[in-house]
Amino acid sequence: MRAVSKMVLSSAVGLLLTSVVLPALAEKIVVGQSVELSGQATGKEGMQGAQLFFNWINSNQGGVNGRKIELITYDDQRDPQKTKENTLKLIKEDRAVALLGYRSTPTVQAVLPLLEKNKIPLVAPFSGSQSLYKPMHPYVFNLRASYQDEAAKMVESLALMQIKNIAILYQDDAFGKDGLAGFEMHLAARKLNASVIAKYDRKDLNVDAAVASIMAANPAAVLMACTPSACADFIKKVKTAGRLPQFMMLSNVNSEEFFTSLGKHGRGVGVVQVMPAPRNIGVPVVREFQHALKAASNPPPVTSAVLEGFIAAKLLTEGLRRSGANLSSQRLVTALETMSDFDLGGITLQYGSGQHMGSNFVEMSIVDQNGKMMR
């Protein structure tokens, strides 16, 4: 599946042979993306947010440096091998100058060698894996806070509620293990231990054994590092059995589809947020987001994932602007590294030649009785 936003641009380009370089008369800037479009909605919503920004900037400002921006997105079905194939196609055939908003820790990790080999930046991956932060990868520019930061906020919230009987559910892969490591580290810092730790297999997403194990411990809270469908299945099964622990999840589940899937079981569920509330117009970038939504002929849902995609596209566009007319992927890397303490409109970035951390914004939210997020 290929989702394409059509846009047009013009200006001269440098001849750096170490990275993707646009032809001198190129009419557009191509940005590439490989995410899951056919399954869970988070990747699709991130893509919709990025497309919303690019459409808006193309319509109102003619793109950047005289060229419109085209987003080409391929469906990878969250399969790392397919992600690698898509990435090579984006670089070699579509001539993408940058990659944007890849989703899922295993798929992002799969393309890291390709970034370095082709000297092309991946901006704002939808993953908070510690492997993308430390050690710093020269071609990964993070936007969101790390899962370790999220885990710290979750444990802090439980400590404030004086909850000590805590269980952990994690997906048995790189993403889940990263979340597990963060939970255990921050619990230990507060002299706490999980009463039970349960996992499930990423291949079949069967949480039945984890449900039985965690219910046997009767915890007051469950810290969760799981995909949206597995998280929803787990919560429904535990609540249907009559147990009501405080569920707390990492930000990867944020999508309209996920909260809708919970239905009546969503009330009181806690989810970490790494972006401002998408309706909080007191934040400048959210005001921009709302203006773009109103201008769109077919606006996407108003969710945190859509807003994150919008902000990611704004971040990349600023990097493109700073790269100037002679655009190449290597010039873009250098331009992004000039964005030290740069305010995207309520989201402050920390970039430099030795720093690609991005934002450290983290807060907890709770799902209300209508399936909406309360901050």
pLDDT at position 334, please? 97
pLDDT tens string 322-356:
999 999 999 999 999 999 999 999 999 989 999 99
Check: pTM over 0.85? Answer yes or no: yes
The Cβ-side half-sphere exposure at 310, using a 13 Å CA radius, reads 31
Once rounded to an integer, what is the mean pLDDT over residues 134-148?
95
Helices and strands (DSSP H and E) totals, the chain:
11, 16
pLDDT tens string 230-244:
999 999 999 999 999
Instruction: List domains and CATH numbers for the chain.
Output: 2-144+278-356 (3.40.50.2300), 147-273 (3.40.50.2300)
Per the CB < 8 A criterion, the answer to whether 224 and 201 are in contact is no
Rg of the chain (C-alpha set) = 20
